[in-house]
Structure 1
Amino acid sequence: MEITYPLDDETCKKLAVWLCDHALKNASYYVQECRQMLVDYTKNGMNDDLLKNIRDASGNPDLTKLVATEMLDSEIKKGIGQIALWEQQPRDTNARFFRMKYQQVNWEA
């Protein structure tokens, strides 16, 4: 699956919910912060703050910018694929939980 950057805001919101629930579940991210990081990343690429966050979350202080970018792009692809699958199968239990979590986020906070 090819990622076309920058991602639209709705996609970043959905990805933020998915990432915080799955890929980043060991890190303490607020969904709104994750969304903003995704918006920035998809517009401007990997920055030093995001690289530090990924290094901290992975426990690898020597992670290069290239490897961190590949890791994040891989997770974004997985998330886009999973969200698309849930949209095709809205009755799936995980799809229902995803929609519930998405609807509970206060995007204005």
Structure 2
Amino acid sequence: MNENQSSRDVFDAIADPTRRRLIRLLAEAEELPLHELTAKFQMGRTAVSKHLTVLREAGLVLDRKVGRETRFRLNAAPLREIQDWVTYYNKFWHSNLTRLNQLLEEEDK
């Protein structure tokens, strides 16, 4: 598998509230070390690291070593898949609600 392909589904990766919070924290900062991310949660370093691994496997998180420290940053590009999915259903609901509105208006006449 090349580095542009992710080994985990993006939808699966964002399904967990902890991982969504990690994404938000990384979106608000350019880059954060593991110890700073861990301090934001009531769980241990290993648990946070496991969540970051899931996000990394989905291509949502990039990491780099700086000395003995690992720093993480968000790669938002894979979120485009979710945005496209939501956009499709937004169009679906808009179309159906417009038709329902037209039917109700015709019924009132």
- TM (norm. structure 2) is 0.34
More strand by share: 2
Larger relative contact order (CA 8 Å, sep ≥ 6): 1
Whose radius of gyration is greater, 1 or 2?
2
- TM (norm. structure 1) is 0.34
